[in-house]
Amino acid sequence: MTDLHTLTTATVRTQLAEGQISARGLVEEFLRAIPAVDGRVHSYLTMAPERARAQAARLDALAERGEPLPPLAGVPVAVKDVISTRGIRTTCGSRALERYTPLFDATAVERLEAAGAIILGKLNCDEFAMGSSNENSAFGPVRNPWDLERVPGGSSGGAAAAVAAGLAVAALGSDTGGSIRQPAAFCGVVGLLPTYGRVSRFGLVAFASSLDHIGPLARSAKDAAAVLAAIAGRDPLDATSADAPVPDYVRQLDEPIAGLRIGVPREAMAAGAGLDAAVAAQFQAALAQLEHAGCKIVEISLPHAPYAIATYYVIATAEASSNLARYDGVRYGLRVEADSLGEMYRRTREAGFGAEVKRRILLGTFVLSAGYYDAYYRKAQRVRNLVAGDYRAAFESVDAIATPTTPTPAFRLGEKIADPLQMYLNDIFTVSADLAGIPGISVPCGFASGLPVGLQLLGNYFEEARLLRLAHHYERLRGAFPDPPVSLAEAPRG
């Protein structure tokens, strides 16, 4: 029997089909083993034992009847708490939604379960997905399983930490400015940002609608591919979901990579990007391995990339200020009583939101306000077009673009929380893909000061298959990635 923390989508399905395990037994093992490890990591906000057991029973019934099993049959997964789950509270890491229970499932959740996955629970995150360290969760930060004194990244910090520590085989996260890829890099797992429109946003609690994406985190490119295949595709409930066909991501993994051209932006390697020397060394080593495997590494330029963070923090906050207007204590969530309606709104929002959410609402309100709209919001939208244009031009001559996912490895808890701008600068390599709407993946590529480093690969629109293939081949060149010191590896199997 495989250890819980090394299970893959393929091993679970095979063992279930061959009768070596039962889905119900697997669920019980996870539910029993998670608390001892997660007491230190704090990745789960809510467990969903009843829903998990019911789904497991359905899969066991299929297996017992010898019926064909769906692609993710029996695979224990978990879902970031900004993604709606019917009947399971969805807090968004906020006091405002501490007791909010959705009446519907996000399309990605529905599709994940239809593909046979078992949802174990909901994962901690920065409040409304706003943050790069998970310290903005109203329910306390997640800790990095590689070093409990360090952040797991954010905002999908719970998702990355849970997958790294073996507390789920895979997870759904969300990425608006790097929130899947950055924590994946910090925790040593794979995180995939799909093309905008590739995965339905229906049921994803909105932060910045033109930038929000749902995507998978997993311990391998292959598992990320399997999850993406399950959740991708047109959804009538999201008007921005694309009609593009969904390829067989898993089957395409083994196609060759020799001859692919990989561009390295000189702006990422420039002194101003703040790249840590040890991270740079791991990145160069990864490029050398890809080159040895037949890829061609070429220097490219993304001249507007240095403007991406400034652009992002105008557009994302503008959209957030509008999207978060709905938390007013009327229809759901927290209410602070007052004599007048206006007073109730203001007190409710004052009590419900944390500092970073308020900061972004204020900034977004400011850049949209009369007199500043053109100087900030319209200007940022124009720069967004230039950032996207850089990628359009680059992909005329390269098949993928490589950068480190983050300029440094995971920082210490408390290190950046007092300086919001320093925290934002951590997203320097990730935000521009969200602005352009192109896909990206972060795959672990070694260590700097004992902490995982991420290799980021970006692709043209709807070229997730190529990114997954490159990541999959790279994983083979790299070899097995070790387990973090805090993981389910400690748990004896019952």
Partner 1 sequence: MKIDRATVAHIAALANLELGEAEMAAMERDLASILEYVAQLDQLELSGVEPMAQVAAPNAAPGDRARDDRPRVWFTAEEAVANAPQAGGGCFKVPRVIQPAS
Catalytic sites, residue numbers: 80, 155, 179
Q: Which residues contact 432 (CB under 8 A, 6 or more apart)?
A: 302, 305, 308, 387, 390, 391
Q: Which residues contact 20 (CB under 8 A, 6 or more apart)?
A: 1
Tell the smallest beta-carbon distance from residue 334 to partner 1 (Å).
7
Sheet hosting strand 76-80, strand order edge to edge: 44-47, 118-123, 76-80, 170-175, 213-218, 190-193, 440-448, 451-458, 400-404, 261-265, 296-300
Q: Which residues contact 341 (CB under 8 A, 6 or more apart)?
A: none
CB 335 within 8 A of CB 329: yes
CB 453 within 8 A of CB 283: yes
Q: Which residues contact 47 (CB under 8 A, 6 or more apart)?
A: 31, 34, 120, 121
CB 264 within 8 A of CB 300: yes
Tell the smallest beta-carbon distance from residue 72 to partner 1 (Å).
25
**Judged by CB, which is closer to partner 1: 60, or 105?**
105
The alpha carbon dihedral of 299, 300, 303, 304 has a sign of negative
Tell the smallest beta-carbon distance from residue 482 to partner 1 (Å).
37
Tell the smallest beta-carbon distance from residue 233 to partner 1 (Å).
11
Measure Cα distances from 156 to 46, 162, 321, 333, 442 in Å.
15, 10, 21, 22, 13
Nearest-CA neighbor of 167 among 76, 45, 54, 82?
76
**Judged by CB, which is closer to partner 1: 61, or 330?**
330
CA dihedral 210→216→222→223, nearest 10 degrees, is -160
Tell the smallest beta-carbon distance from residue 359 to partner 1 (Å).
6
Report which secondary-structure segment, H or E, holds 76. strand 76-80
- 326 vs 66: CA distance, rounded Å: 48
**Judged by CB, which is closer to partner 1: 70, or 420?**
420
Tell the smallest beta-carbon distance from residue 456 to partner 1 (Å).
19
**Judged by CB, which is closer to partner 1: 100, or 481?**
100
DSSP string, 37-63: HHHHH--EEEE-HHHHHHHHHHHHHHH
The alpha carbon dihedral of 198, 199, 203, 207 has a sign of negative
Tell the smallest beta-carbon distance from residue 341 to partner 1 (Å).
5
Where are any strands of DSSP class E within 203-358?
A: 213-218, 261-265, 296-300
**Judged by CB, which is closer to partner 1: 197, or 454?**
197
**Judged by CB, which is closer to partner 1: 212, or 475?**
212
**Judged by CB, which is closer to partner 1: 372, or 447?**
372
